[in-house]
Structure 1
Amino acid sequence: MQIGSALVGLLFVAVQVGCLDLRHGALTGRISGGEVARDNQFPYQVGLSIEEANDLFSWCGGSLISDQYLLTAAHCVEEAISITFYLGGVQRLSPQQLIRANSPVVYLHPDWDSQSLENDIALLRLPEPAVFSSSIDVIRLPGMASSHVSYDYVPATTSGWGRMSDESALISDHLRFVVQFVESNEDCQYAYANIKPTNICMDTTGGRSTCTGDSGGPLIYYDPLQSANILIGVTSYGKKSGCTRGYPSVFTRVTAYLDWIAEVSGVVYP
């Protein structure tokens, strides 16, 4: 299925509405101010073209955690009737592997709340295995022994094909990324009263932030003790007033869901 310019225009509307907290009207899911990714720099990054009822389409990100499972945001896929998976590419519509699921297997977290955006996490099962290469590989999850680590004030990387600024009319054709510091939940609560221990926030000083189209994508910490990149967050939401206004980006904290991820997917690290 080819995604033309008219369809891409629909993607933003669907993603923004999908992330909106309808009670407050202040939140929207959403890389602005980022760098262009190199080939094979983020082999775990997956693009998701999501079809919903009434010919609505949206674009989100995901993170490959095994050859069969990936993590994304619940708000991205709760209404999905088909999903096309773009694996192993930096050009958005030129993946190394393209997989289409007409009846996608979606595991929403059982406590997902679309009004409060709490527990905004989902697992997707691929209908065929990912073919690993230098372009397609998994991201490591935090180990069970580190489930209480906060990651406050460490540098972290987030990536996606989302809008490059509030003024952008389209999401990016090329994968981009930003490196910013994790912000403590206490600091993040100054911007969002509903921050939970199951959230993790990223500072966006300088307008370097996630933006519309980045929802479901990864927040990565390089752990020097393990010499490995670790998935610590799933892009959830930001301020509806804009990506570049300096408000923190909010992610779902992966360490809060390790037991559930292991139960559903069998993926677990000690």
Structure 2
Amino acid sequence: MQIRSVLVSLLIVIQGRSIASLDLGHAVDGRIAGGDLAVVNQFPYQVGLSIEEPNDLFSWCGASLISDRYLLTAAHCVEKAVAITYYLGGVQRLEPRQLIRTTNPEVNLHPGWNCETLENDIAVLRLPEDATFCDSIRPIRLPGISSSHLSYDYVPAIASGWGRINDESAVLSNTLRYVVRFVESNEDCRFSYSNIQQSNICMDTTSGKSTCHGDSGGPLVFEDRTLNTDVLIGITSYGKKSGCTKGYPSVFTRVTAYLDWIGEVSGVVYA
């Protein structure tokens, strides 16, 4: 399988402020820059979310399909959602293979979610109808419970999304993009962010290739050659507000820290 990476964009307002204005030790929302263009069927688990919030506010995030009815995304993307349009199976952002809209979204925020610190930045979404599986729409495998101890330090991983392609860009990418970078240890990541928890996983971006604004909620994936499949190991959470091409690590929610909770909410569990 070809190793890959992506862009996902996000502009989300929290209590009247863009999340990019939150300090968090100079940390902000997830993003991807300097990536490559995805091809058709390369990321069949990638979902785009157009999110409506109160007062006619709108935002864009990414998500990962984990079954025919459930997705994982970042809690900060959907905590105020009053309607969500799901874009499944497309490479062009607004040309999905399947489009699903709900004005009553079923959003399961992690009970420990903290919007000030971004701890436990994970949510499970339930689609109002089944995803129609095809070459363009397939779920991503979660890590097995038996492998929940793995750190994934220093392995290559793939991030993807429709986020901005650089700090100067004011718009989302129309085409799905991806980047391939190495997972950075949490110990090293704490040199950039003092608030890194065991429930975080970080990606090295020293080449200027990174997640960027609008990539929040999107996938970080490891190609597990033992299982001969891709495995979802992270959910795009935040980065430095000084810019996504400055070489600071990107921070993700570590999926292995939440496998029991994901299973309880969605029924999706791997041994």
The alpha-carbon deviation at position 25 of structure 1 amounts to 5.4
1:80 aligned partner, one-letter code: A
Off by >6 Å, runs of 4+ in structure 1: none
Gaps of 5+ in 2: 1-8
Identity %: 67
For 1:28, the equivalent position in structure 2 comes to 29
* Contact map agreement 2:25 2:194 (CA 8 A) in 1: no
Corresponding position: 1:82 with 2:79: no
For 1:192, the equivalent position in structure 2 comes to 193
Kindly provide the CA deviation profile for residues 13-46 of structure 1, in whole angstroms up to 9, marking residues without a partner as x: 6498246535655423322000000000000000
For residues 19 and 111 of structure 1, what CA distance do their matches in structure 2 show?
A: 21
TM-score (norm 1): 0.94
- Paired residue total: 261
For residues 127 and 19 of structure 1, what CA distance do their matches in structure 2 show?
A: 31
* Contact map agreement 2:19 2:28 (CA 8 A) in 1: no
For residues 13 and 267 of structure 1, what CA distance do their matches in structure 2 show?
A: 28
* Contact map agreement 1:97 1:131 (CA 8 A) in 2: yes
Matched residue SS, 1:205: coil
* Contact map agreement 2:10 2:29 (CA 8 A) in 1: no
For residues 154 and 141 of structure 1, what CA distance do their matches in structure 2 show?
A: 17
For 2:270, the equivalent position in structure 1 comes to 269
2:18 aligned partner, one-letter code: V
Matched residue SS, 1:86: strand
- Equivalent residues in 2 for 1:214-225 (5 A)? 214-225=215-226
- Equivalent residues in 2 for 1:10-25 (5 A)? 12=11, 14=13, 17-18=18-19, 20-22=21-23, 24=25
For residues 262 and 20 of structure 1, what CA distance do their matches in structure 2 show?
A: 34
Kindly provide the CA deviation profile for residues 40-93 of structure 1, in whole angstroms up to 9, marking residues without a partner as x: 000000000000001100000000000000000000000000000000000000
- Equivalent residues in 2 for 1:115-194 (5 A)? 115-194=116-195
For residues 13 and 105 of structure 1, what CA distance do their matches in structure 2 show?
A: 19
Structure 1, 246-255 or 10-19: larger mean CA deviation: 10-19
Matched residue SS, 1:226: coil
For 1:53, the equivalent position in structure 2 comes to 54
Structure 1, 123-132 or 25-34: larger mean CA deviation: 25-34
* Contact map agreement 1:21 1:117 (CA 8 A) in 2: no
Corresponding position: 1:44 with 2:45: yes
Flag the structure with more relative contact order, 1 or 2, with Cα contacts below 8 A and sequence separation at least 6.
Answer: 2
Q: CA RMSD in A?
A: 1.5
> Whose helix fraction is larger, Structure 1's or Structure 2's?
1
1:224 aligned partner, one-letter code: R
Kindly provide the CA deviation profile for residues 212-240 of structure 1, in whole angstroms up to 9, marking residues without a partner as x: 00000000000111111000000000000
1:216 aligned partner, one-letter code: G
For 1:7, the equivalent position in structure 2 comes to none
For 2:71, the equivalent position in structure 1 comes to 70
Matched residue SS, 1:43: coil
For residues 157 and 25 of structure 1, what CA distance do their matches in structure 2 show?
A: 24
